[in-house]
Structure 1
Amino acid sequence: MKSTTTTQDYSRYVAEDHHTWATLSSRQKKLKDNQISEAYLDGLKVLQMDDQQIVRLDEVSERLEALSGWTLIPVTGLMPTKEFFCMLISKKYPITVSIRKPYEIDFSEQPDIYHDVCGHLPLLTNKKFIEFLTSYSIIALKYVNNEKALDILGRFYWFTYEMGIIRENGVSKPYGGAIITSAEEIENSNNPAVPKHEFDLDHIFRTTFDPYKLQKEYFVINSFDELFDSLEHIESKLIEYLLLPEQDLVLRNFALNPFIGKDFNNVIGFLNDIQFKFPKAISFVAGQPDERFFEIEDNISRFGSYVTHMMERTGRSRKEVVNGIGQYNKTKGIVNDILSKYLKKDENIIVKEEDVLVTVGAQEAFSIIVSTICNRENDVILAEDPGYIGVSSFAKVFDYNIKGIRADEDGIDIKELKNKIIEINRSGKKVKLLYVIPDYQNPSGFCMPIGNRIQLLEMAQQYNFLIIEDSVYNSFTYAQKKNPTLKSLDKFNKVIYVGSFSKSLFPGLRLGLIAAGQLIEDENGDIVALADEMAKVKAQLTNNTSTINQAILGGILLDQDYSLNDFSKPKFDSYKVKRNKMVDSLNKFIRYEDWAEGISWNEPDGGFFIKMCLPFVVDNELVYESASKYNVIFCPMSNFYKNGGGENEIRLTFSNVSLNDIETGVRQLALFLKANIVGEQLDYTHNQVLNY
């Protein structure tokens, strides 16, 4: 897309342009104090703008920066939405350099320099309004890929910054730039016959507008504090409006697959072999949780809490309860009621206990879901590319048809996904499942914006497929608030939620869960519960998940009042420290080196993974060389791609590496990278490298 930024060539303005500016400025000066917001007039006064000639933007920018830290960026016209909000977040304001023609002096359909400068800049000197604008921009940026969300957020922007009215000392006065810079709009806003509504998010979200005509209604705030405080609720209200009303949730013509299988993964085997062969090498390979927080003995003792709970609930003796736990048991699990409460409290997921299936980790959950739903001949599974290899490896080993859809920093490419679904469905096959990790994805560490999540749910409803949501990293956020899961947003009942306690507690517990709830109408017209059909498949795999381990988990959740948020906070804080150490070390040893040009990486807001892009191809042989010669191990990203790619990318995992080892490991990685970039293979022994 061609850039809209430009420079202000002052010599291109003619006398007619300056006359237009002077005329508009003269009109504005005639407005009495009780006709325009005092906050606006205060800002206009301190900016000291020329009222006879078009202002020089560099001079105004210098004054504005001194007052509030904002600077001005000359542009040719309307900007792309994402670029616009990114500028606002960076305290940069775009100013159109052209000015309206004389015949547009009363009302200009397009923004011009007078509208942008005199309409908007005065409020950029108001501290509270600036806080509102930047915070709003941060929220809006999350939804730039969702047209419906932008339409709703655009109404909010329009009825505040452009057409806003504020009540000052009992008098309603415009503060919106589109009112202030239009004589006709000011007159219209003063017309008592035009409705002036009290500020209300619901009302604003429901109200459409025409930017090319005088407004039919306005909204009045009592203060900029009220405007800023509304942002606390704007996202939850926006999501309500993005989600369509509940419809018939029964899946029609959705044949289930009777085949059963197990999982196997060769890539994991290779990396495990490397780590065992070079035990002294620092490994950035495995997405393992930090062992310091396992507290195995203490957690095992929670078995007793569950036993006591069941004695009180059933009236049975301790021996009867314990012996019952040791016996073969329900295929779906024995702590489903507890997990249902946990999901509601921690993830805002409402699911019945009979729709929860306790699994042997998340990997078994994936195999159960695919084996239950997919027919090898006609059905297709779609997954992020690159993406976690658990599902894709299972599909390949057991001959299920899986296709990759490109994923980037915003998660799965929505447009490519839609095109692929249409292509596959037209070919006579059917897309049945989509596998995604919305939060801090493995391997990239990227996070799906909320707007994209809403769009994904709508697409599942439109094209009749189910979404496997792998939510293992959702809780591992380094931000103040974690993102809502797809399942919690799902009003169409299209999401099968997969959770795991391997990261939040410890992998040796080997516990995961499936939260379904779908009713399925098969090809015979029979309606069955999907969770019941999955239980049939699980019964052929593992009969039931270890009830002793389930009792331990149940006891932990009971003791923590069905929530792991506070319980896990120390380890989450520790992972954030490690992430920061990882980023600091990468900056220290790589970013500022001359030889490192062409190397880049992301800085994730959660999870365990950093993706690094390199200026050379990495294969398994280089992994071996790095481990044997430089005592550091990483994971080539090409292993995670289904359609080819990632040959010059690696994944770095920091979750189970000490702070000292993180710094040492990154230093060793820098030596390895430098050797491969400059072409000088360093003949260091292990000790010499480590003492560098």
Structure 2
Amino acid sequence: MLANKGVNQGVAPVTYGEGNRPPRGDYAHARGDYTCDQNWSAYSPQEHDLYRRLYERQASQLVGLACDEFIEAVEHLGAAQRIPRFDELSEKLHRATRWEVVAVPGLIPEEAFFALLAKRKFPVTGWIRQPEEFDYVVEPDVFHDLFGHVPLLFNPVFADYMQAYGAGGLKASRLDACELLARLYWYTVEFGLIATPQGLRAYGAGILSSAGELRYSVHSPQPSRVGFDLQRIMRTRYKIDSYQTTYFVIDSFRQLFDATAPDFTPIYRAVRAQPEIDAGVVLTNERLIAAACTPG
């Protein structure tokens, strides 16, 4: 996860790092690329049980709210009774899409994050939240990263999108466009929705790992749900201290991947020539998607 963002369980992420307490994790033992050893044997029985309870709560909500690709892939994480071993998970993931998961101490700088994605390495935070943070954790922990992000890396198209995003991020850092690309990540990888034949479903990790936002994002009449538009997304600010007021809806993962194929240099230029858009604002004549009907 990027160093200036956190993810929580109950509401959307908040800004982290300026004047707040230092990030968790042992950065002293991190390598030059910010990866480190998972140290799986150091997890306590209580931490494994906390992971189990988080996993079971979220898994029980997936049907009818998460996309089928995620529901099918989440089983690759293995038994819910314990925090997965990253090496074992990486073996399965590499066979499927040539990705692997690597441990990091916590939040890492943008360029380090982009570089790992470009190499098909997904950084997963090694530590797990405290029991009192069961419903709310500021920084992304091992549960958010594993449960929210890793399953869709077993999907070949989404896996390729993530690598393309990483490569694009390295270029964006040279073009002073990281903020624009961060909005794309936020509104797709973290808080994306997808239109399916069965109705609206979630695929973003920030939604899928949240106890409350999963149902809210799919069923609530309050937020705006806008058809995917790359420039519109890059112009749109996002909420960092509440549920999202705007979600963007893709038609397929192929649409998402194809959107990353062009050179973003002229796109950044076009976006900068237009005004930014506040979260929740609905523009004239844009394609809005209705909330999914509540079952029953």
Residue type at the aligned position of 1:161: V
Question: TM-score, with normalisation over the residues of structure 2?
Answer: 0.76
Deviations 1:618-677 (A, max 9, x none): xxxxxxxxxxxxxxxxxxxxxxxxxxxxxxxxxxxxxxxxxxxxxxxxxxxxxxxxxxxx
| Structure 2 gap ranges (5+) | 1-26, 276-296
Q: How far apart are residue 104 of structure 1 and its match?
A: 2.1
Inter-partner Cα distance in structure 2 for 1:234 and 1:114: 34
Aligned equivalent of 1:134:
163
CA contact (8 A) 1:107 1:183 kept: no
Aligned equivalent of 1:22:
52
Inter-partner Cα distance in structure 1 for 2:215 and 2:274: 39
**Bigger RCO (CA 8 Å, 6+ sep):** 2
Inter-partner Cα distance in structure 2 for 1:89 and 1:164: 21
Aligned equivalent of 2:269:
239
Q: Does 1:37 align with 2:67?
A: yes
Aligned equivalent of 1:153:
181
Q: How far apart are residue 243 of structure 1 and its match?
A: 5.3
Deviations 1:419-464 (A, max 9, x none): xxxxxxxxxxxxxxxxxxxxxxxxxxxxxxxxxxxxxxxxxxxxxx
Aligned equivalent of 2:114:
85
Q: Which consecutive aligned stretches of 4+ in structure 1 deviate over 4 angstroms post-superposition?
A: none
Q: Does 1:197 align with 2:226?
A: yes
CA contact (8 A) 2:222 2:245 kept: no
Q: Does 1:121 align with 2:150?
A: yes
CA contact (8 A) 1:5 1:73 kept: yes
Aligned pair count reads: 243
Inter-partner Cα distance in structure 2 for 1:224 and 1:51: 27
Which structure 2 residues correspond to residues 456-605 of structure 1 after superposition, within 5 A? none
Change (3 A) 1:240 1:200: same
Partner of residue 196 from structure 2, selected from 168, 175, 197:
168
Aligned equivalent of 1:184:
212
Partner of 1:196, secondary structure, is strand
Which structure 2 residues correspond to residues 48-59 of structure 1 after superposition, within 5 A? 48-59=77-88
- Identity in percent: 33
Residue type at the aligned position of 2:102: I
Residue type at the aligned position of 1:81: E
Change (3 A) 1:180 1:244: closer
CA contact (8 A) 2:65 2:215 kept: no
Deviations 1:455-486 (A, max 9, x none): xxxxxxxxxxxxxxxxxxxxxxxxxxxxxxxx
Inter-partner Cα distance in structure 1 for 2:274 and 2:193: 31
Inter-partner Cα distance in structure 2 for 1:225 and 1:33: 23
Inter-partner Cα distance in structure 2 for 1:196 and 1:30: 25
Q: Does 1:61 align with 2:90?
A: yes
Residue type at the aligned position of 2:208: I
Q: How far apart are residue 208 of structure 1 and its match?
A: 1.0
Which structure 2 residues correspond to residues 68-467 of structure 1 after superposition, within 5 A? 68-147=97-176, 149-189=177-217, 190-233=219-262, 235=264, 236-242=266-272
Residue type at the aligned position of 1:153: L
Residue type at the aligned position of 1:191: S
Inter-partner Cα distance in structure 1 for 2:104 and 2:64: 33
Residue type at the aligned position of 1:126: N
Q: How far apart are residue 38 of structure 1 and its match?
A: 0.6
CA contact (8 A) 1:37 1:166 kept: yes
Q: How far apart are residue 51 of structure 1 and its match?
A: 0.4
Q: How far apart are residue 224 of structure 1 and its match?
A: 0.6
Deviations 1:575-628 (A, max 9, x none): xxxxxxxxxxxxxxxxxxxxxxxxxxxxxxxxxxxxxxxxxxxxxxxxxxxxxx
Partner of 2:201, secondary structure, is strand
Residue type at the aligned position of 1:171: G
CA contact (8 A) 1:74 1:94 kept: yes
Q: How far apart are residue 233 of structure 1 and its match?
A: 4.7
Inter-partner Cα distance in structure 1 for 2:128 and 2:175: 32
Deviations 1:374-393 (A, max 9, x none): xxxxxxxxxxxxxxxxxxxx
Q: How far apart are residue 42 of structure 1 and its match?
A: 1.8
Partner of 2:103, secondary structure, is strand
Residue type at the aligned position of 2:107: L
Aligned equivalent of 2:278:
none
Partner of 1:83, secondary structure, is helix
Partner of 1:82, secondary structure, is helix
**Greater share of strand:** 1
Q: How far apart are residue 239 of structure 1 and its match?
A: 2.1
Inter-partner Cα distance in structure 2 for 1:196 and 1:13: 40
Q: How far apart are residue 39 of structure 1 and its match?
A: 0.9
Partner of 1:33, secondary structure, is coil
Residue type at the aligned position of 2:216: N
Aligned equivalent of 1:418:
none
| Structure 1 gap ranges (5+) | 246-692
Partner of 1:20, secondary structure, is helix
What is the aligned-residue RMSD (CA, Å)?
Answer: 2.0
Inter-partner Cα distance in structure 2 for 1:39 and 1:76: 29
Partner of 1:166, secondary structure, is strand
Partner of 1:144, secondary structure, is helix
Partner of residue 38 from structure 2, selected from 8, 13, 26:
8
Change (3 A) 1:93 1:184: same
Which has the larger Rg?
1
Inter-partner Cα distance in structure 2 for 1:233 and 1:124: 22
CA contact (8 A) 2:125 2:141 kept: yes
Moved more, 65-74 or 27-36: 27-36
CA contact (8 A) 2:117 2:165 kept: no
